[in-house]
Amino acid sequence: MSVHSVGPRPTYEAWSKRGLLVPAPTEQPWARSHAALPAVESLDDDHNVALLYSPRDDKGRAHIARAHVEIAPTGELRLVSHDPEPVLSPGPLGAFDDSGVTMSCLVEGDRATFLYYTGWTLGITVPFYFYAGLAIRPHGQRRFERFSTAPMLERSAIDPYLTASPWVLREGGRWRMWYVSCTHWEMVEGEMRHFYHLRYAESGDGIHWRREGRVAVDFADDHEYAISRPCVVREQGLFRMWFAARGDCYRLGYAESTDGVNWDRDDSLAGLTISEEGWDAEMIAYPAVFDTGGVRYLLYNGNGYGRSGIGYAIATET
């Protein structure tokens, strides 16, 4: 199975919606609402995948959960079970992630699996802060452990407000990241509003990152103010990115790049929009694209930033 790098695809996708895969809330006692930010873990098996996502507990704090999904011979996905314990839970009191951890992506290293996530804490002058974090699971072990109690991407002169939602691809000894960075906060119609877009960074080990403030995907217009976690795949020498962006509500966006640094955005190529009614009639958010068994899938959230659960679609060429 390949969840990041895929084979030749000469045409763009149109997506056939297949409905909810993980309804929310799920059955875990620490998952009282939401099933947000899906990402797939490769199991080297074309008949099963592991799905990581973020539910919230009765205090509104996100955890990272793991579900097992079966792939039918017809290509349909079916939820089989949930792990009884979280993959990762909120950090210690006072840490950058003591108010929640949300899923971003998984990457296989030479000796370990890297889990990139977003850690949340509550604010006073602004409603919240979040920063990109890292947990690591050495090969042969079952549990992820935080690399540090501090953020992987702390605030800096490059990213002075927030960092979040890294999507990482590994190309030999070169690790490449596209991540959320906040440009500023602003009072809008009596409420504090965050403005964040997508930036680019590189690393030699997947842990320590060189950030230069390179903007990958910027706001489309003055109405847009938030661009969510990207999902990047590389095929035929082309980097392809799916994301969601919002002014009023999240909609699916799309961009391409020949070098992974300079991107051309064309949301008309995203291939999926809201439904006329139902669980994804208001918004589409947090896309995750993966291939297995010769089929391309898109996982995504609908209404309420994951409150209505995780759905999926299957690609059809256009």
Phi then psi dihedrals of residue 285, to 5 deg: -145, 160
Residue type, 101: V
Whether residue 86 is contained in a domain is answered as yes
Question: For 72-129, how does the pLDDT look when each residue is reduced to its tens digit (9 = 90+)?
Answer: 999 999 999 999 999 999 999 999 999 999 999 999 999 999 999 999 999 999 999 9
Buried/exposed 19-31: b ≥16 CB within 10 Å, e otherwise: ebbbebebebebb
Whether residue 245 is contained in a domain is answered as yes
CATH code for the domain of 44: 2.115.10.20
Whether residue 5 is contained in a domain is answered as no
Domain range holding 89?
13-317
The pTM is what? 0.95
282 phi-psi bin (left φ>0, alpha ψ -120 to 50, beta other): alpha
3-state SS record for 279-307: CCCCCCEEEEEEEECCEEEEEEECHHHHC
**What is the pLDDT averaged over residues 51-55?**
98
Whether residue 215 is contained in a domain is answered as yes
Six token digits for residue 293: 């068994």
Six token digits for residue 190: 């009596």
Whether residue 51 is contained in a domain is answered as yes
**Torsion of Cα atoms, 86 then 90 then 96 then 101, to 10°:** 50
Distant-in-sequence, close-in-space partners of 110: CB < 8 Å, separation ≥ 6: none
Greater confidence (142 vs 120) lies with: 120
Whether residue 37 is contained in a domain is answered as yes
Question: For 25-36, how does the pLDDT look when each residue is reduced to its tens digit (9 = 90+)?
Answer: 988 889 999 999
Model pLDDT, residue 318: 55
User: How many domains does the chain divide into?
Assistant: 1
Question: For 229-274, how does the pLDDT look when each residue is reduced to its tens digit (9 = 90+)?
Answer: 999 999 988 999 999 999 999 999 999 999 999 999 999 999 999 9
CA 296 to mean position of chain CA atoms: 17
Whether residue 1 is contained in a domain is answered as no
Whether residue 137 is contained in a domain is answered as yes
Q: 3-state class of 260 per DSSP?
A: coil
